[in-house]
């Protein structure tokens, strides 16, 4: 036993081991609760893990940089996991091919709505132009959205925050919203959440159903491309 | 397992090189996804390709393992948001409401278009 328990904390709080353990443990509990509630929309494991860990960091006065030293091992896997989405897509290729036209139509309308609605609403709310531009790419994956935001001289960190918030909201809203509408087509539900809420929405879709997940991952991938073309266009229209 | 993970990383690496090299506005891993999909399809057509991780469900199992907890992978980035809530607070609750309404509108517009187009298509097919 160390003479001063505080020195043990000082050592551990600086090591990746502690923060990797905290990340996995918190998620394991959040995921168990999510499973126990039959994947209830409000028991979203990403949402609950992030605020619990975030509060813990605030309470212990730990910087995000220190936390990320440990959490980066988990974060790194996002790239390989995106590549791995090829496998469920491959296994459901017939369903995907059969729906190619509805997907393209929904992609065009969905992508334009995602950008148009946020730009119009933010303008109506009287938010400053830099903020409006930072919010515009919020429906695509963080890396791409931040790149778009940077190219428009907006605020990439605000964009990252908007992207994550959008993802969480989309993932938590989609199931109750679609149930209320009575939409049983899991392809349409998955595709919508992939367009509106990128990877976090796709993760939610996979929790519900494999086919929904496949359609969400197609939507997410295509939307990254379309949004990076449409947002600069919207920015030019705004500047006039 | 190691060979399968290597193949996945190799696809991602090739995707990153492709995207950076051509300065394309899309994520490298998405190009990696397309590459792995093409490899899986090519394997079904050309028996010579069915070796290493591309046979006996190697890369398939590794991918399923990676995707089993896709939600977990978003936690580190999510925690970053909790630390930067000051950015949101600076502009008030308006931002949160704008994002919320936009998400709902986007979900509705996308799902409606998808259903409309697939019904139109089904009707066109049955009419023929």
- Nearest-by-CA chain A residue for B33: A83
B122 token code pair: 């089904």
The sign one gets for the Cα dihedral B111, B115, B120, B121 is positive
Q: Is A141 helix (H, G, I), strand (E, B) or coil?
A: coil
Spans in chain A with pLDDT lower than 50: none
Task: Collect all residues of chain B within an 8 Å Cβ-Cβ radius of residue A139.
Answer: 103, 106
Pairs of CB atoms within 8 A across A/B: 307
pLDDT attached to residue A3? 64
Q: How far is CA A83 from CA B5, B35, B72, in A?
A: 11, 8, 16
Distance separating alpha carbons of residues A75 and A82, to the nearest angstrom: 12
A86 by Cβ neighbours in 10 Å (0-12 / 13-18 / 19+) ranks as buried
Q: How far from chain centre, in Å, is Cα B49?
A: 25
Distance separating alpha carbons of residues A128 and B121, to the nearest angstrom: 43
Interface test with A, best of B12, B14, B73 (most A CBs within 10 A): B73
Q: Where are the domains of chain B?
A: 1-68, 72-128
Helices (H) and strands (E) in chain B, counts: 6, 0
Flag whether pLDDT at B127 surpasses 80. Answer: no
- H/E element holding B57? none
Radius of gyration for chain B, computed over Cα atoms and rounded to the nearest angstrom: 21
Q: Are A138 and A159 in contact (CB under 8 A)?
A: yes
pLDDT attached to residue A2? 52
pLDDT attached to residue B110? 97
pLDDT attached to residue A203? 95
Nearest to A80 by CA among B7, B55, B60, B38: B7
pLDDT attached to residue A83? 93
pLDDT attached to residue B48? 79
Taking an 8 Å cut-off on Cβ atoms, the answer to whether A74 and B102 are in contact is no
Give the DSSP letter of residue A240.
-
- Supply the ipTM of this predicted assembly: 0.91
Task: Please list, in sequence order, all residues whose beta carbon lies within 8 angstroms of the beta carbon of residue B112, skipping any fewer than 6 positions away.
Answer: none
A238 by Cβ neighbours in 10 Å (0-12 / 13-18 / 19+) ranks as middle
pLDDT attached to residue A113? 96
Put residue B83 in one of left, alpha, beta given phi > 0 → left and psi -120 to 50 → alpha: alpha
pLDDT digits (tens, 9 = 90+) for B50-61: 778 887 788 999
pLDDT digits (tens, 9 = 90+) for A45-83: 999 999 999 999 999 999 999 999 999 999 999 999 999
Rounded to 5°, angle at Cα A79 from A51 and A94: 110
pLDDT attached to residue B25? 72
Distance separating alpha carbons of residues B64 and B68, to the nearest angstrom: 6
Task: Collect all residues of chain A within an 8 Å Cβ-Cβ radius of residue B49.
Answer: none
The number of residues making up chain B comes to 128
Compute the nearest-CA separation of B128 from chain A (Å): 17
Q: Are B61 and A87 in contact (CB under 8 A)?
A: no
Q: How far is CA A143 from CA A27, A128, A140, A163, A187, in A?
A: 23, 23, 8, 10, 26
Q: pTM for the full model?
A: 0.90
Taking an 8 Å cut-off on Cβ atoms, the answer to whether A81 and B95 are in contact is no
Q: Are A57 and A67 in contact (CB under 8 A)?
A: yes
Distance separating alpha carbons of residues A177 and A185, to the nearest angstrom: 13
């Amino acid at each position: 036993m160390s003479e001063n328990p505080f020195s043990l904390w000082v050592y551990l709080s600086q090591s990746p081991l502690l923060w990797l353990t905290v990340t996995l443990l918190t998620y394991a509990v959040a995921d168990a609760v999510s499973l126990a509630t039959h994947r209830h929309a409000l028991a979203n494991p990403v949402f609950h893990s992030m605020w619990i860990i975030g509060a813990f960091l605030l309470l212990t006065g730990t910087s995000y940089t220190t936390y990320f030293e440990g959490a980066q091992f988990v974060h790194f896997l996002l790239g390989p996991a995106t590549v791995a989405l090829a496998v469920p897509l491959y296994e459901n290729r017939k369903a995907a091919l059969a729906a190619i036209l509805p997907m393209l139509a929904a992609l065009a309308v969905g992508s334009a709505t995602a950008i148009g609605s946020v730009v119009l609403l933010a303008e109506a709310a009287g938010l400053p132009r830099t903020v409006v531009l930072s919010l515009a790419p919020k429906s695509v994956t963080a890396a791409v959205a931040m790149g778009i935001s940077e190219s428009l001289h907006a605020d990439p960190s605000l964009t990252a925050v908007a992207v994550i918030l959008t993802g969480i909201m989309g993932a938590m809203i989609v199931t109750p919203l679609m149930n209320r509408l009575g939409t049983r087509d899991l392809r349409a539900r998955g595709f919508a959440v992939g367009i509106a809420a990128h990877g976090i929405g796709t993760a939610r879709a996979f929790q519900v159903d494999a086919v929904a997940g496949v359609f969400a991952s197609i939507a997410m991938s295509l939307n990254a491309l379309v949004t990076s073309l449409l947002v600069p266009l919207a920015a030019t229209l705004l500047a006039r | 397992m190691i060979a399968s993970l290597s193949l996945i990383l190799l696809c991602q690496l090739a995707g990153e090189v492709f995207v950076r090299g051509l300065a394309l506005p899309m994520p490298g891993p998405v190009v990696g996804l397309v590459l792995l999909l093409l490899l899986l399809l090519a394997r079904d057509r050309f028996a010579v390709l069915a070796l290493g991780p591309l046979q006996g469900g190697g890369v398939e199992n590794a991918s399923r393992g990676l995707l089993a907890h896709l939600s977990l992978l978003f936690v580190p980035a999510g925690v970053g948001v909790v630390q930067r809530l000051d950015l949101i607070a600076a502009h008030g609750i308006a931002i949160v409401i704008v994002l919320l309404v936009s998400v709902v509108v986007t979900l509705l517009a996308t799902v409606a278009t998808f259903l409309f187009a697939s019904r139109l298509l089904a009707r066109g097919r049955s009419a023929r």
